[in-house]
Structure 1
Amino acid sequence: MRFHTVSGAAAAIVALSVTAAAAQDRENWPDSFTVGTASQGGTYFAYGSGWANLVADELGMSGGAEVTGGPMQNMALVHTGDAEFGMTTMGPARESIEGTNPIAPGMKMDNACAMFPMYQTPFSITALAGSGIDSIDAIPDGARIGFGPAGSTSDTYFPRMLETLGVNFDRRNGGWSDLGGQLQDGLVDVIAFAAGIPVPAVSQLEVQTDVNIIEFTEEEQQKILEEFPVSEFQIPATTYQTLEEPARSVAMWNFAIANCDLPEDFVYAVTDVVMSDNERMMNIHRAAKSTVVENWDKNKVLPWHPGAAKWFNENGASIPEDMIKGG
């Protein structure tokens, strides 16, 4: 009896010691965290909400996603610390670091660090099948085109791309779900999407009506590649019911970002939750197929957070010291 009592007491002491050590290890962690995403109905919100909830559950802390204006605003929020984490594309990231983010012109947003690769954002165009718009050169002069939320990757780059291709349009902004409704109601003629695929709003649209998913011609694609920080991309035919074959496109890489001042062990733990089980991430969103260690080198713009860099370098990456914040 005495043996069991002593053993029980010892076990309790060990448990308390482990709990105390764990609490001490997390002493400098924030009480909660926010992930800046984009508008509802877009891939950022679906993907970001998923990994925010996953991290909160796995680490036993309060955290979640916040609807934002997208990559440009996320760079600003993470830079200032108003959001611990966010998501951005490489184009807006570069502009923000250079001080040309339209949210705060002149401010060099260099306190947002890379955390992990997400996926490529293809640029694609959708119109109602009944509109007769089945190619970029079929878009009529003055067409009302929805470019997503103001300041988003789509709103920043797609208007410039279409101008490069000679399209004359009336620019509209809004959340992806809202623009999908406007397209159905005839309030806009075209939606120019820049979002991870499948875009929830497009998937919803094609369930409710017939749509055209418009690809770039080879010549149009080449013009865009010469003018913008994008790469060749093909939207697989399996992405949407509407597609019968792959659609030619261009794409820009997305990365999750962290405020550079966050504790190294905290960001390491968050990165581990997201990156250690790709199947789990794929269940959140199919675009997470690209959320793998091998794509660490797609970031050529942002400094890496030391906690994230430590995890990646322990798991097969080779992030050079001069690409790590403070390195």
Structure 2
Amino acid sequence: MKITKITALALTTTLATGAAFAQDRDGWPESFTVGTASQGGTYFAYGSGWANLVAEELGLTGGGEVTGGPMQNMALVHTGEAQFGMTTMGPAAESLQGTNPIAPGLAMTNACAMFPMYQTPFSVTALSSSGISSIADIPAGARIGFGPAGSTSDTYFPRMMEELGVDFERRNGGWSDLGGQLQDGLLDVIAFAAGVPVPAVSQLEVQTDVNIIEFTEEEQAQIMAAFPVSEFDIAADTYTTLESDARSVSMWNFAIANCDLPASFVYEVVDVVMSDNERMVNIHRAARSTLPENWDKNTVLMWHPGAAQWFTENAGAEIAADMIHGDM
């Protein structure tokens, strides 16, 4: 894991601060919940994994909870119903602006950035037997599964399809359920927005032949011009079906914390997750991007003070004071 060099004095301060935080548990919750998403998706596997890791390392009771994904997680963390959650930068921005469909008009400003997770690629999967091997092949009126209602996929992928001129019937559901519907012929296409490899796609590959459909260069450019996404390639070794990298677009994901949680608690949670990337990669391969140097991928959310302190001390982060919630 690459960490920016810090001086011996700063290192001493960091170790002392970490030790103090480890002993100072004033105000810590006895248990915690991490809002994830539906089973069969990357959020659930990744979120449940780091929740269990934190619970074990800090001697607390905690775990992942099935939710509707990023939009609902912003609401749950903002209200304190969940201590932690996971969101994507697009839904986070909409939630701050008060346009989260779960609570229209409510600016969800009490959900703070905690640590960078990974990029969410947008990808399309169809059965090989369907003959659909490109976006242009998707027939008019195709039944497309976009994931749970309010998820990143459901929020942005229908708009992307409309931007590309695809005519479709919109379907929602958990990723595992949608994978089963695709296999049973009840859906024509699944439009995934999830960290790769998506468990539901990996399962489909074992059971049947699928096409993982990439965007053309023109489609990729068109989507990037219309939405808050960036260029991304799904590596060929991600799925057995792929013979070469697949062209895509992506959006960054961040773990979030209720802004009122004690700084010492959030500091220690971040330390558990960010101090040993190998452990995180063992939970899910998407965690290869869960690295301290990616702290700067958050341009939307206020930082939790405890998280800001960890990245400042351990990753050389330069976080503006007006991007940190409350006082350090």
Greater length-normalized contact order (CA 8 Å, ≥ 6 residues apart): 2
Mapped contact 2:21–2:264 kept (Cα < 8 A): no
Query: Aligned partners of 1:200 and 1:74: how far apart in 2?
Result: 20
* Corresponding residue for residue 52 of structure 2: 53
Give the deviation of 1:322 after TM superposition: 1.6
Tell me if 1:89 matches 2:77.
no
After the TM superposition, which residues 103-252 of structure 1 pair with which residues of structure 2 at under 5 Å, given as runs? 103-252=102-251
CA displacement at 1:24 relative to structure 2: 7.1
Question: What CA deviation, in whole Å up to 9, does each residue of 1:234-290 have, x standing for no partner?
Answer: 000000000000000000000000000000000000000000000110100000000
> Partners of 1:190 and 1:28 in 2: how far apart?
48
Greater alpha carbon shift after TM alignment, 308-317 vs 70-79? 308-317
Give the conservation status (yes or no) of the 8 Å contact 2:148–2:154: yes
- Aligned counterpart, 1:317: 317
1:293-308 equivalences under 5 Å are: 293-308=292-307
- Asked whether 1:284 is paired with 2:297, we answer no
The CA deviation at 1:318 is 1.6
Unaligned runs of 5+ in 2: 1-19
Describe the shift of the 1:22–1:156 C-alpha distance in structure 2 as closer, same or farther (beyond 3 A). closer
CA distance in 1, matches of 2:109, 2:310: 21
Q: Which residue of 2 aligns with 1:326?
A: 326
Question: Where do 5+ consecutive residues of structure 1 fail to align?
Answer: 1-20
Q: Aligned AA for 1:308?
A: A
Deviation at 1:22, TM superposition (A): 8.9
For the residue of structure 1 that corresponds to 2:257, the secondary structure is strand
- 1:303 counterpart SS class: coil
1:270 aligns with 2:265: no
Q: Return the letter of the residue paired with 1:195.
A: A
The one-character-per-residue Cα deviations of 1:147-175 (angstroms, maximum 9, x if unpaired) are 00000000000000000000000000000
Per-residue deviation, 1:25: 2.0
Shift of 1:225: 0.4
TM-score, structure 1 as length reference: 0.93
8 Å contact kept, 2:71–2:150: yes
* Structure 1 moving runs of 4+ over 4 Å: 21-24
1:9-24, aligned counterparts within 5 Å? none
Contact 2:21-2:268 within 8 A present in 1 as well: no
CA gap 1:23/1:273 in 2 versus in 1, 3 angstroms: closer
Q: CA deviation at 1:124?
A: 0.1
Q: d(CA) in 1 for partners of 2:188 and 2:227?
A: 25
- Size of the aligned set, in residue pairs, is 307
Q: In 2 relative to 1, CA 22–309 (structure 1 residues): closer, same or farther, beyond 3 Å?
A: closer
Contact 2:22/2:268 (CA < 8 Å) preserved in 1?
A: no
Shift of 1:43: 0.1
Q: Distance in 2 between matches of 1:26 and 1:245?
A: 49
Task: Provide the secondary structure at the position in 1 that maps to 2:326.
Answer: coil
How far did 1:199 drift?
A: 0.2
Q: Which stretch shifts more, 279-288 or 314-323?
A: 314-323
Q: Does 1:29 align with 2:28?
A: yes
Alignment match, 1:11:
none
- Give how far 1:27 is off: 2.7
* In 1, Cα distance between equivalents of 2:302 and 2:317: 15
Counterparts of 2:22 and 2:243, CA distance in 1: 54
Q: Which amino acid aligns with 1:81?
A: G
C-alpha distance 24-218 of structure 1, shift in aligned 2 (>3 A): closer
Counterpart-to-counterpart distance in 1, 2:231 and 2:321: 30
Q: Amino acid of the residue matched to residue 94 of structure 1?
A: A
Q: What is the DSSP-based 3-state SS (H/G/I as helix, E as strand, rest coil) of the residue aligned with 1:29?
A: coil
SS in 2 for 1:186: coil
1:320 Cα deviation (Å)? 1.7
> What RMSD over aligned residues (CA atoms) do the two structures have, in Å?
1.1
TM-score by length of 2: 0.92
Q: Which amino acid aligns with 2:66?
A: V
Residue in 2 that maps onto 1:40? 39
> In 2, distance between residues paired with 1:49 and 1:190?
27
Residue of structure 1 in register with 2:10 after alignment: none
